[in-house]
Copies of this chain bind each other. A is one copy, B any other.
Amino acid sequence: MNEPINKIAVLTSGGDAPGMNAAIRAVVRACTYYRVDCIGVYRGYQGLIEGDFKELSARHVSNIINKGGTILKSARSQDFRTEEGREKAYKNLKKAGVGALVIIGGDGTFTGGLKFIQEYNFPIIGIPGTIDNDIYGTDRTIGYDTALNTVVEVIDKIRDTASSHNRLFFIEVMGRDAGFIALNTGIGAGAEEILIPEKDLGLDRLVDSLKTSKEKGKTSSIVVVSEGDKIGKNVFELGDHIKEIFPDYDIRVSVLGHMQRGGAPSCSDRVLASRLGVAAVEHLLDRSSGVMVGVTNNQVTTVGLNKAIKMNNDIDKELLKVAEITSV
């Protein structure tokens, strides 16, 4: 591991997130700046196994900072879960003269990276790219801020029609295990109620809250529901259930779905991605490995990949209170 690093590879894996391209661009340009070569690996770990590589120069990543998705594409790889697959990946990297790897993604991406480090002692730095903001060791993940804006813009539109018709809307947003998107967009869109997995409101309190809302003269209501919330089997069942209790309500259900992953990244996500892309290369060149770069208290920091995976970010109690107060 003491040979100099002359070439760094970068890949994106797992669900895509706006800002991944900005991170790729920063990795490539940091390589140019520090005079090491850079190659892009297509389709995540699967491309590592198949040797799907392309040399990337500073010009290759012009005009991508504002594009959603990932130019390197992303994919799940069953093969990388096998020893055989990882061996192929290692051989491909060696053959291409790659001395270190930047992996951009979330939990699954880092788990794969850790395994690879353990087996091959290959230098790897992780960058948190996921809209869910569920990675420990960084205040924000790349794509999260953009997803929040996408969601509030859509809810603003639904609010137009909701208040024109005095309707009750249940809107499902992403976040299977974490309610960050639901809580923040719920506050940001002025939702009357927010349902998240971390805090089981329970059907009874939801019903009470909707009753109170009506008594206060609110003629339309928005309830933001996190994918992972546990009231009802899913948001449609929840809607049906509420309809039984309030038969005179005009209830609509909307599942926002995959649009939440796309779109031009916000300025904040572009800057975050640029910082972390540069930092990842600098840490690799400083012989660091096995860590994720993140931003904590506005400073670039690192955390062990094992911690990033295992620990959880807690929902901020202050935000729950703000949500309660501002929806009176």
Contacts and interface: CB of A to CB of B under 8 A. Distances in A.
A325 B16 CA distance: 25
A298 interface: yes
Copies in the complex: 4
Contact of A164 (B70, B163, B316): B70
A266 B266 contact: yes
Interface residues of A, number: 86
B75 A271 contact: no
Contact of A252 (B258, B298, B300): B258
Contacts of A316: 298
A267 B151 contact: yes
26 contacts: A26-B322, A33-B328, A63-B159, A68-B160, A69-B160, A148-B267, A148-B268, A150-B157, A153-B264, A156-B262, A156-B263, A156-B264, A157-B259, A157-B261, A159-B262, A160-B261, A161-B261, A184-B267, A187-B274, A188-B268, A254-B255, A254-B257, A268-B268, A278-B322, A297-B298, A300-B318
Interface of A: 12, 15-16, 18, 25-26, 29-30, 32-33, 58-59, 62-63, 65-70, 73-75, 139, 145, 148-154, 156-166, 169, 184-185, 187-190, 216-218, 252, 254-255, 257-259, 261-264, 266-268, 270-271, 274-275, 277-278, 297-300, 316, 318-319, 321-322, 324-328
